[in-house]
Structure 1
């Protein structure tokens, strides 16, 4: 059991490669970035966009809605 702990500690203490700022977590970082990029590139559903527009209209002062 002790050898497993030492092996895990050695993996954590290894310096990160110069081109890899995440070190041993680089694969996780790449997958998270890919997921985020995919999510951001999706279009907002029409119903959700309508709800946001309605919220914006209600949160504006009355004079701004009248065009003054």
Structure 2
């Protein structure tokens, strides 16, 4: 085995065992951070009221 082949195999083992996202881990972290911030944002009272009204006026979906 050459040095390059051994280095490539070692890199694949490290990426596979430690971080499931591999080279995309930074993108995954940023997306998770953005999603967490978005989910934790406060919903304005007026918007919550409108959603509540919509839920009351929509008919329930039929279950087949």
- TM class, shorter-chain normalised? 0.5 to 0.7
2:4 counterpart residue number: none
Q: TM-score, normalised by structure 1?
A: 0.61
User: 2:16, 2:56 → 1: CA distance?
Assistant: 51
Deviation of residue 37 (structure 1)? Answer: 0.6
What is the CA deviation profile of residues 25-52 of structure 1, one whole-angstrom value per residue up to 9, with x for unaligned ones? 1001001000101111111111110110
Other-structure match for 1:44: 43
CA distance in 1, matches of 2:53, 2:25: 42
Matched, 1:28 2:27: yes
Unaligned runs of 5+ in 1: 1-13, 62-68
| In 2: Cα distance, 1:55 partner to 1:28 partner | 36
| Divergent runs of 4+, >6 A | none
Counterpart for residue 7 of structure 2: none
Q: Which has the higher contact order (CA 8 A, sep 6+)?
A: 1
